[in-house]
A and B are shown apart, each in its own frame.
Chain A
Amino acid sequence: MKNPYLPYPVRIEETVIETEDRNIKSFKLAFLKEEDCKAFDYTPGQFAQLSVTGKGEIPIGIASSPTEGDHLLFTVNKMGVVTTALHNLSEGSIMGVRGPLGNSYPFDKMKGKDVTIIGGGYAFTTLRSTIVYMLDGKNRADFGKITLIYGARTPGMLLYKETLEEWSKRDDISYNVTVDRDAPGWTGRVGFVPAVTEQVAPSSENAIAVICGPPIMIKFTLPVMVKLGFTPEQTITSLENRMKCGIGICGRCNVGPEYVCKDGPVFSMAQLKEMPQEY
């Protein structure tokens, strides 16, 4: 019987310090075994449990897209015991990955529609995965207009600077990256995400919006979405809760009857309306 708790061994191929405060680091991982790589069949929005031996596991959204090849990308904010241990691992180290876990963004519903991606801070990881996936040559035609609104406190706190640079040059994505306050050398937008969303004003007609970010950003962006005509069914977000098993058994991440790890982490605002606010 396959053990769903057994992590796949992976090697850290490359690490990148993403932000100026050096607290957020990306890890490019390669599977040690070919068959594990094949078994790890994922869709953007899913997450995985990263293991550091002796420290434990931590659930992290997958930042790479399956269209990018066999490696996996995870971006980790240094917070607790496991993430700190992870930050201390060097390139070449062996660690564990268990997944893919959770549902994903509802690409079946997004097909044929305009997609607005709104992100803030370091919650941009699975959104990166989603955009890369949608912009991929094989998939681009499946979606209408793609609008990106992404904000960070300062230019130095934006993730994936090279990828952003690349997107900014494309003409098949409306690129709106913003920082909270103006900074030397910054030529892009300035302003908070809710305000920028209002300016960009993506159409809600035949559209889906995916919003991920700190609670305060979500709180102020949602009324803007309502104003733009997005219904709760059209507005999608991703939740986080303390998790252990990641497979809907250990019982701690539930929000009402739904397990964030298995039934989520992606929920529509319509679903969240029926659920207690225990997240």
Chain B
Amino acid sequence: MNARTTKLREIAKKLLDKQKVDVVIGFKKGTIPLKNTPFFATNSEEADLLLWDGNCIGNLAAYLPKMAGKRAAIVAQGCVSRNVVGLIQEKQVDSNNIYIIGMPCTGMLDPRKIIAAVPGEITEAVEDQLYVTARGKGFEITLNRSDVLNRNCDRCTVRNPVLFDEIASEPKPELKDPVRYEKIRAIEALPPEGRAESIDELLSPCIRCYACRDACPLCYCPECFVDKSSPQWCGKSQDDRDVLSYHLIRAFHTAGRCTECGACEEVCPMGIKIRLISGKVEKDIREIFDGYEAWKDLKTPPPLTVFQRDDPQPFVKE
């Protein structure tokens, strides 16, 4: 068991035993390799099931708005802590009911990359700080952890929580100025037809299961635009224009709010790189608003929610 898991269980037990919280939201081991399951520990026995490793995908902050007045502790790495800040700023949760167990993070593994690198079905996978070993019938392959990280994690610059009540380990070193947006820039450089083609191809496997929306801590609307019937904003069929509309409108709703946690991509059953769309919005906001990154502290609101006389407006014609 790794040190962060040991510490996490210790913190969780203490919080539950002293009845400081009703529930600790974390992960427990899943039933298949490379996948943990979100877990809601309510007593110290259950706290012993909590763990932290490279398979804690998704964003736990997405569960907070529906906790209905319960006092909840949440295990939060950099991205999740930013989303908790966001939920507090957007008044979706009461900060008095939230206890943040900070979790310095070294990135989550991308099961697709690991599966692609091995010749058969993986029956067991173990990781340490640097390597991941996947075993199956007739093979055992060790991969560099850094080669099989999620596409969002391998360039993350906020591995350490920005807000916490208690922290489960020393901070992890942060990346400085990673290469970002290569693919988005490549699409931007294409002519309009080329861009249309790239985006259509990107979205062609979409089955509209809305896992991307449902896993996203920004998507807490009680009724999503895509479910509305009067008016109906968006067709419901697999028509590519309707699929595109759904993704574009959702991406637009994340403008200035997305923390690049990557939950949308991690949960996508079809492996769609959704952040090639929402990332475009995130990139624009960063470039237009002076390097802005969402919710790194409790005070700074997202730029699109406030009006400044000198707001940049490159799209407006004089």
Contact = CB atoms under 8 A, between A and B. Distances in A.
A80 B231 CA distance: 11
A159 B230 CA distance: 28
A200 interface: no
Interface string B160-186: 000000000000000000000000000
B250 to A, nearest CB: 23
B237 to A, nearest CB: 14
Contacts, number: 4
Determine chain B's interface SS by DSSP, over half rule.
Answer: loop
Contacts of B230: 80-81
B95 to A, nearest CB: 36
A22 to B, nearest CB: 19
Chain A interface size band reads under 10
Interface of B: 229-230
Nearest to A56: B229
Contacts of A80: 229-230
Contacts of A81: 229-230
Sort A-B residue pairs by CB-CB distance and give the 4 closest, nearest first: A81-B230, A81-B229, A80-B229, A80-B230
A80 B229 CA distance: 9
Nearest to B230: A81
Contacts of B229: 80-81
Nearest to A82: B229
4 contacts: A80-B229, A80-B230, A81-B229, A81-B230
Nearest to B231: A81
A74 to B, nearest CB: 21
A33 to B, nearest CB: 30
A80 B230 CA distance: 8
B230 to A, nearest CB: 5
Interface string A66-97: 00000000000000110000000000000000
A81 B230 CA distance: 7
A80 to B, nearest CB: 7
A23 to B, nearest CB: 16
Nearest to B232: A81
A81 B229 CA distance: 7
A234 to B, nearest CB: 40
A114 to B, nearest CB: 44
B228 to A, nearest CB: 10
A174 to B, nearest CB: 43
A250 B37 CA distance: 31
A80 B228 CA distance: 11
Nearest to B229: A81
Interface in A6-57: none
Interface in A218-243: none
B236 to A, nearest CB: 11
A130 B126 CA distance: 69
